Amino acid sequence: MPELKYSSAELMIINASRLLRDGDVVFVGVGQPNLACNLAKRTHAPNLVMIYEAGVIGAEPARLPLSIGDPTLVSGALSVVSMYDIFANYLQRGNVDVGFMGGAQIDKYGNINATVIGGYDTPKVRLPGSGGSQEIAAWANRCYIMTPHQKRRFPEKVEFMTSAGFIEGKGAREARGLRGGGMLAVVTDIGVLEPDDSGEMMLTALHTGRTAEEAKANTGWNLKIAEHVKTTEQVTKKELKILREELDPTGIYLKGAA
């Protein structure tokens, strides 16, 4: 059988989709997270309930949503609520299982910077800011992120902590009463990082053909390697077909890495 060809974006999206469980209530972002969720819904998680930050619950988008407030999310959804309600009743109250995060940097403890590179008052690069990220990171039961594995994206400590992972390590979330479980998986184009008992992100899986040395070389801290590093399941023809033919036929989010 000829080897399947896929982009690193496709590889990450497919691996992220496998983290979702049937029946999960998932807080979805546009772009790659949206594809991962819709892929899961069309494969192993048909009862996935997709919630969008714009206040849409149970969306079943008929076309690829191009913004977080795309009208296709609304038509045919289960419910549409105000922004205050989505953050208060759904997130803060604890009605969300999974949150997909984004951000420019993620550190050793899974904390995220989506705000600024350089000083806050004298920004070198001003990023978009939290949006819903701060609350999703705190209150969704499980948080995941997809990001290309590059040293600049993986500093030992984020320059600005927009959203909490395990903060300074073990017990930090509990001390603040954060209800969610924190950053439970970082899916990269090299493999998967998951927290150890202290909340430090360590390499637990590699994609076929990638090595732990590569992961270490592209991480800004001394990356721990799990005792038994798994190999992620092969990407399947079916998954690629759904992504390319049904979900993103013009390849807006499937090309390249980010």
Partner 1 sequence: MSKLTTLKKAVSEFVTDGDIVYAAGFTHLIPFAAGHEIIRQGKKNLILARATPDLIYDQMVAAGCAKKVIFSYMGNPGVGSLRIVRSAIERGELEWEEYSHFGMITRLQAGASGLPFLPMNQTGGEDLEKVNPNIKRIPDPYGGKDVIVVPALNPDVAIVHVQRADKNGNAHLWGIIGEQKEAAFAAKKVILTAEEIVDESVIRSDPNRTMIPGIVVSAVCHVPFASHPSYSQGYYDRDNEFYLAWDKISESKELTQQYLDEWVYSVKDRNAYWKKLGEKTHKRLKVKAQYSEKINYGKY
Asked about 200 being catalytic, the answer comes back as: no
Q: Which of residues 154-173 bind partner 1 (CB under 8 A)?
A: 160-164, 167, 172-173
Determine which one of 53, 135, 200, 239 is catalytic.
53
Of 70 and 189, CB closest to partner 1: 70
Size of the site for partner 1 (CB under 8 A): 56
Options 20-28, 118-126, 183-191, 243-251: segment touching partner 1 (CB under 8 A): 118-126
Judged by CB under 8 A, does residue 78 bind partner 1? no
3-state secondary structure the chain: CCCCCCCHHHHHHHHHHCCCCCCCEEEECCCHHHHHHHHHHHCCCCCCEEEECCCEECCCCCCCCCCCCCHHHCCCCCEECCHHHHHHHHHHCCCCCEEEECCCEECCCCCEECCEEECCCCEEEECCCCCCHHHHHHHCCEEEEECCCCHHHCCCCCCCCCECCCCCCCCHHHHHCCCCCCEEEEECCCEEEEECCCCCEEEEEECCCCCHHHHHHCCCCCCCEEEEEEECCCCCHHHHHHHHHHHCCCCCCCCCCC
Judged by CB under 8 A, does residue 257 bind partner 1? no
Of 53 and 189, CB closest to partner 1: 53
Judged by CB under 8 A, does residue 256 bind partner 1? no
Options 15-23, 47-55, 143-151, 192-200: segment touching partner 1 (CB under 8 A): 47-55
* Residues binding partner 1 (CB under 8 A): 30-31, 53-56, 66-71, 73-76, 80-84, 87-88, 91-92, 115, 120-126, 128-135, 137-139, 160-164, 167, 172-173, 176-179
Active centre residues (catalytic): 53
